[in-house]
Each structure stands twice: as C-alpha cells, then as structure tokens.
C-alpha cells in the first residue's frame, strides 16, 4: 500500500476510534435484531490466541433484561461486590490520575461537585440499571483459559464497541455489572466452569442527557511507548 492508501485507511479507522465514546444514558427503544446480528458478525472477526474465540456471549433484552435490571439494582450498595474474576485491588500513579480525571469529567458534566459522595454514588448505581439500555451482552469465558482467555474477551469487547459505533449504535463496556454474578446465573444458563467477564450495554444514546456530553482524552504516546532500536 502506498502512503496515500495508508493515510486514507488510518483516517477512516481514526474517525471511528475518535468518534466512539462510552454512552451512559440510553433511549429505551430496542434495536432491530438483524442490526445486532450484523454488529456481532463484524466483532466476531476479533483476533484471539490460536483463533480459539473463547468469548461466550449472552444477548439479553426484553423481559429477562428487565428482571435482571431490577435485581442487580437492588443488590447495588446493599451487597458487597463478588466478581468471579478479581478486580484491581488498587490504582496507583498514572492509572489513579487518569481514573480520577475520567470520573471528574463525568461528574462535572452531570453537575456533581467533587467530594459529593451521595450524588456520585447515585450515578455509579446507574451502572446496575445499564443506564437505561434496551440490550446487554454479558461476556463469559472458560475458567481453564485463565488470563489469556480473558485477554481474548477484551479484544472482542473492543471490536464490538467499534463495530457498534460504525453501525450508529451507542454502547458502554461495564465491568461493574459483573459484581453480582449470582443474579446473572439465576437468569442465564452460564456453565459452572465459565467466568463472567463483563457486560456491554448498548442501544441508542439519549442525545439530550449530560452524561453523554463529555469525552475522555488519551495519554500522549511518550507516556506509553518505549521505542527500541
């Protein structure tokens, strides 16, 4: 490919990468199933170790989603999180800073003052209502694959988010909803040898909601790249 081809290819992908954002307020209107299937077909092209494609995808909508939504929301705050895969025990250094910046930007968009634990806690709990989304895909993985299975699932999550955006569908990945696996397991047939990784809520954004009005930045390359040779 010549330089023009590379520039055009990167510009097209860059537009998608830069245009995508985590949606945290959805309209209730469900999406047509063929559109969801088309997004899944594209995300299915994600790369994985030896092409094992270890992601298990539970596509939940309608009445089952409503039941899970109300049970999860009731758990939030009342029951301590017990995810099947360990969450980080702490965030330090640059990770802590980037995390705080992202949280503050969200809270600023919502008019929540720094240190207002009540209001920020209320916003955090919206995770368990999937921010009003009409669809959730819950990702699970064979426990025997360990870290590498989960890594492949992460690649699938990235592919799904991008495919959804390319199709004009808004989405947010949600580690939070893995906090209460018992709720999911009561409603979905997830085999005992599999572990719940995360969810992705998706649908159409509520364009008027302030939670959708902020965008995150990214660290400059110098912070993350070590050029060798």
Ligand X SMILES: Cc1cc2nc3c(=O)[nH]c(=O)nc-3n(C[C@H](O)[C@H](O)[C@H](O)COP(=O)(O)O)c2cc1C
Residue ranges in contact with ligand X by CB under 6 A? 21-22, 24, 102, 127, 157, 172-176, 198, 216
Nearest to 123 by CA among 61, 203, 214: 214
Taking the complex as a whole, how short is the minimal distance between the CB of residue 158 and ligand X, in angstroms? Answer: 7
Pairing of strands 135-142, 194-203: antiparallel
Taking the complex as a whole, how short is the minimal distance between the CB of residue 128 and ligand X, in angstroms? Answer: 10
Taking the complex as a whole, how short is the minimal distance between the CB of residue 51 and ligand X, in angstroms? Answer: 22
Q: Which is nearer to ligand X, 27 or 102 (CB)?
A: 102
Taking the complex as a whole, how short is the minimal distance between the CB of residue 172 and ligand X, in angstroms? Answer: 5
DSSP run (H or E) holding 149: helix 146-166
Q: Which residue is nearest to ligand X (CB)?
A: 176
Q: Which is nearer to ligand X, 76 or 176 (CB)?
A: 176
Residue with tokens 């572990």: 195
Taking the complex as a whole, how short is the minimal distance between the CB of residue 107 and ligand X, in angstroms? Answer: 12
Q: Which is nearer to ligand X, 67 or 102 (CB)?
A: 102
**In Å, what is the CA distance from 107 to each residue of 118, 122, 173, 204, 213?**
12, 11, 18, 22, 11
Buried b (16+ CB within 10 A) or exposed e, 139-152: bbbbeebeeebbeb
Q: Which is nearer to ligand X, 53 or 123 (CB)?
A: 123
CA angle 8, 12, 48 (to 5 degrees): 110
Q: Which is nearer to ligand X, 36 or 197 (CB)?
A: 197
């Amino acid at each position: 490919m010549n330089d023009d081809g590379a520039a055009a290819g990167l510009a097209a992908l860059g537009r998608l990468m830069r245009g995508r954002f985590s949606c945290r307020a959805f309209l209730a209107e469900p999406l047509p199933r063929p559109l969801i299937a088309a997004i899944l077909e594209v995300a299915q092209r994600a790369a994985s170790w030896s092409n094992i494609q270890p992601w298990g995808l539970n596509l939940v909508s309608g009445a089952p989603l409503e039941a899970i939504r109300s049970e999860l929301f009731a758990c939030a705050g009342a029951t301590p999180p017990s995810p099947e895969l360990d969450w980080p025990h702490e965030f330090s250094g640059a990770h802590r800073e980037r995390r705080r910046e992202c949280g503050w930007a969200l809270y600023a968009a919502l008019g929540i003052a720094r240190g207002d634990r009540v209001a920020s806690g209320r916003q955090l709990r919206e995770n368990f209502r999937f921010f009003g989304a009409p669809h959730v895909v819950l990702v699970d993985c064979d426990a025997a694959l360990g870290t590498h299975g989960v890594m492949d699932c992460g690649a699938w999550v990235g592919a799904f988010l991008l495919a959804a955006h390319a199709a004009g569908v808004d989405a947010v990945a949600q580690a939070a909803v893995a906090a209460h696996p018992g709720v999911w397991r009561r409603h979905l047939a997830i085999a005992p040898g599999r572990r719940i990784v995360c969810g992705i809520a998706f649908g159409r954004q509520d364009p008027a909601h302030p939670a959708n009005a902020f965008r995150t930045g990214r660290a400059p390359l110098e912070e993350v790249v070590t050029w060798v040779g």
